[in-house]
């Protein structure tokens, strides 16, 4: 890595909202690697080591978070890392280190494993030698590397030498126990050039897929269970956060891949009815969404504020906020039980209201070059046409989806008797707006057997369901749009 810390900063992004010191070297794993036992455990005899197999260690019970890039105990990346680097005793003056904090769930702390040292060490009665390594996947090159855990400080931090990381590459980091194969939850890290031009915020596509849950009922003629219904749930994810494949044992409960095309062993690419780039968000890992100056504000607001003051001579309101994280269901985990998980897909922008009509709209290029000082201030960081983003609920089911404006306006309608009518800016606020899904833009008003009926919802109607209270609008949009996103183009 050529003069990394003169040229590069790192952006880090947890894959899950998921809480550590292990020292890790950057050499490839040695086959003869030896694990480390907890200091409170007695030395096993040869007979004890041969008496049992490796303890079944739980996956998803270790949470990696807050990755920090440190050099000479000084933070070199964007994030909450100043104190972490300052207090880290594993970081010397000459070698850059990547430090990851850990958090353990009760699946470890309430067992004999107790802590990270126990998780990564051979326990009494285990025949196989336990050890942990850090799995690092370079998603740009498609290369997986393994870095062995070689020492412990306080079982709260994982640290690896970071001089082989490259700028503009995304890395997925996971702690793995070798003998049992148990894995931590993953976190993600991306390096950027510190001095890149802070122009428009980078964009990130969002993919959609579905999972089909099998609903059983007891057969009247026997004690067997029979599937009598399928419950469909839609999920969204950004490509770096692609969900992991489920276990084959989960097939009896839920399917998230096409079993007819891909077989019974679950895969995670493609997922069931996966649609790539179903809409676009602003990239959650862009440096402008971080508090670069550690002044309590995301950098994007410093830039907008400077532009606004240059145009008007005035400051924006201290509580001015335009961008919000889009948190949504992104898939499921099946570690012992089936659980739905959420992740941040990216950022969206709050809609604007027309001063005269109070109707919501999303800005286009002509707004950035118009008379509004605020829109002119957004030209540098946004600079793209935007469209509305909507929430819809399947009628008669607990199934929600997101849909962008361009697609929605090709298929939406309200009913007058049996007639389907395309709404306009006035009637959209006066009627129940529906559409048939999956979308058929060629015949949008003819419901097919495979289609379901969805209706638009205000964000407040699903607020408790998706925990999006932070983004609730002060004045509801006339057409129920809750945000603006970069317009999806060819």
- The answer to whether residues 122 and 182 belong to one domain is yes
- The answer to whether residues 129 and 255 belong to one domain is no
Candidates 424, 449, 446, 450; CA nearest to 435 is: 446
Distance CA 407, CA 320 (A): 31
Assigned domain for 125 exists: yes
Distance CA 431, CA 435 (A): 13
- The answer to whether residues 27 and 165 belong to one domain is yes
Of the residues 143, 162, 193, the one at which a domain ends: 193
What's the Cα-to-Cα distance from 267 to each of 172, 248, 424, rounded to whole Å? 18, 9, 43
pTM of the predicted model, to two decimals?
0.62
Cβ–Cβ < 8 Å for 117, 152: yes
Q: Kindly indicate the confidence band of residue 292, based on its pLDDT and cuts at 50, 70 and 90.
A: confident
- Which of 22-36, 150-164, 380-394 has the weakest average pLDDT? 22-36
- The answer to whether residues 146 and 235 belong to one domain is no
- Which of 72-76, 77-81, 109-113, 265-269 has the weakest average pLDDT? 77-81
Assigned domain for 238 exists: yes
Q: Write out the residue range of the structural domain in which residue 254 sits.
A: 203-281
Q: How far from the centroid of its chain's Cα atoms is residue 46's Cα?
A: 46
Mean pLDDT (the chain) is 77
- The answer to whether residues 33 and 178 belong to one domain is yes
Q: Which residue has the higher pLDDT, 470 or 461?
A: 461
Cβ–Cβ < 8 Å for 100, 90: no
**In this predicted model, what pLDDT tens digit does every residue of 320-338 receive, in sequence order?**
999 999 999 999 988 777 8
pLDDT of residue 442: 95
Assigned domain for 323 exists: no
Distance CA 47, CA 425 (A): 79
Q: How far from the centroid of its chain's Cα atoms is residue 293's Cα?
A: 25
Assigned domain for 263 exists: yes
- The answer to whether residues 91 and 146 belong to one domain is yes
Candidates 410, 411, 349; CA nearest to 385 is: 349
Assigned domain for 363 exists: no
Assigned domain for 81 exists: yes
- The answer to whether residues 89 and 29 belong to one domain is yes
- The answer to whether residues 148 and 169 belong to one domain is yes
């Amino acid at each position: 890595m050529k003069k990394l810390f003169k040229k590069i900063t790192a952006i880090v992004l947890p894959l899950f909202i998921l809480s550590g010191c292990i020292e890790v070297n950057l050499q490839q794993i040695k086959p003869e690697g030896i694990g480390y036992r907890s200091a409170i455990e007695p030395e096993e005899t040869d007979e004890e080591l041969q008496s049992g197999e490796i303890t079944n260690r739980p996956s998803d019970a270790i949470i990696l978070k807050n990755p920090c890039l440190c050099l000479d105990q000084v933070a070199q990346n964007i994030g909450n890392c100043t104190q972490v680097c300052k207090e880290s005793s594993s970081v010397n003056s000459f070698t850059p280190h990547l430090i990851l904090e850990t958090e353990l769930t009760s699946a470890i702390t309430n067992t004999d494993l107790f802590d990270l040292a126990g998780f990564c060490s051979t326990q009494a009665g285990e025949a196989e030698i336990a050890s942990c390594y850090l799995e690092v996947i370079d998603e740009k090159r498609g290369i997986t590397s393994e870095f062995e855990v070689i020492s412990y400080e306080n079982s709260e931090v994982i640290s690896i030498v970071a001089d082989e990381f490259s700028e503009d590459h995304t890395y997925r980091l996971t702690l793995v126990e070798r003998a049992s194969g148990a894995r931590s939850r993953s976190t993600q890290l991306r390096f950027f050039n510190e001095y890149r031009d802070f122009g428009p915020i980078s964009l990130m596509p969002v993919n959609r897929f579905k999972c089909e849950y099998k609903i059983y009922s007891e057969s009247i003629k026997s004690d067997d269970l029979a599937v009598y219904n399928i419950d469909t749930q839609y999920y969204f994810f950004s490509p770096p956060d692609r969900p992991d494949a489920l276990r084959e044992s989960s097939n009896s409960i839920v399917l998230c891949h096409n079993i007819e095309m891909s077989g019974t062993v679950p895969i995670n690419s493609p997922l069931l009815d996966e649609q790539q780039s179903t809409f676009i968000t602003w990239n959650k890992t862009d440096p402008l969404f971080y508090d670069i100056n550690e002044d309590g504000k995301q950098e994007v607001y410093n830039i907008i504020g400077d532009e606004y003051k240059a145009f008007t001579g005035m400051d924006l309101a201290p509580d001015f906020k335009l961008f919000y994280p889009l948190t949504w269901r992104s898939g499921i985990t099946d570690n012992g039980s089936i659980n739905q998980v959420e992740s941040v897909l990216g950022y969206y922008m709050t809609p604007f209201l027309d001063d005269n009509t109070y109707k919501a709209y999303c800005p286009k290029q002509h707004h950035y070059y118009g008379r509004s000082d605020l829109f002119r201030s957004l030209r540098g960081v946004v600079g793209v046409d935007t469209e509305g983003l909507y929430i819809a609920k399947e009628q008669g089911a607990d199934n929600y989806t997101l849909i962008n404006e361009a697609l929605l306006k090709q298929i939406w309608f309200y009913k007058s008797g049996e007639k389907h009518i395309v709404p306009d800016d006035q009637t959209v606020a006066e009627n129940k707006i529906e559409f048939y899904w999956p979308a058929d833009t060629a015949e949008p008003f003819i419901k097919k057997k495979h289609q379901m009926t969805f209706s638009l919802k205000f964000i407040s109607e699903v607020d408790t369901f998706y925990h999006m209270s932070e983004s609730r609008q002060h004045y509801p949009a006339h057409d129920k749009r809750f945000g603006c996103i970069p317009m999806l183009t060819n």
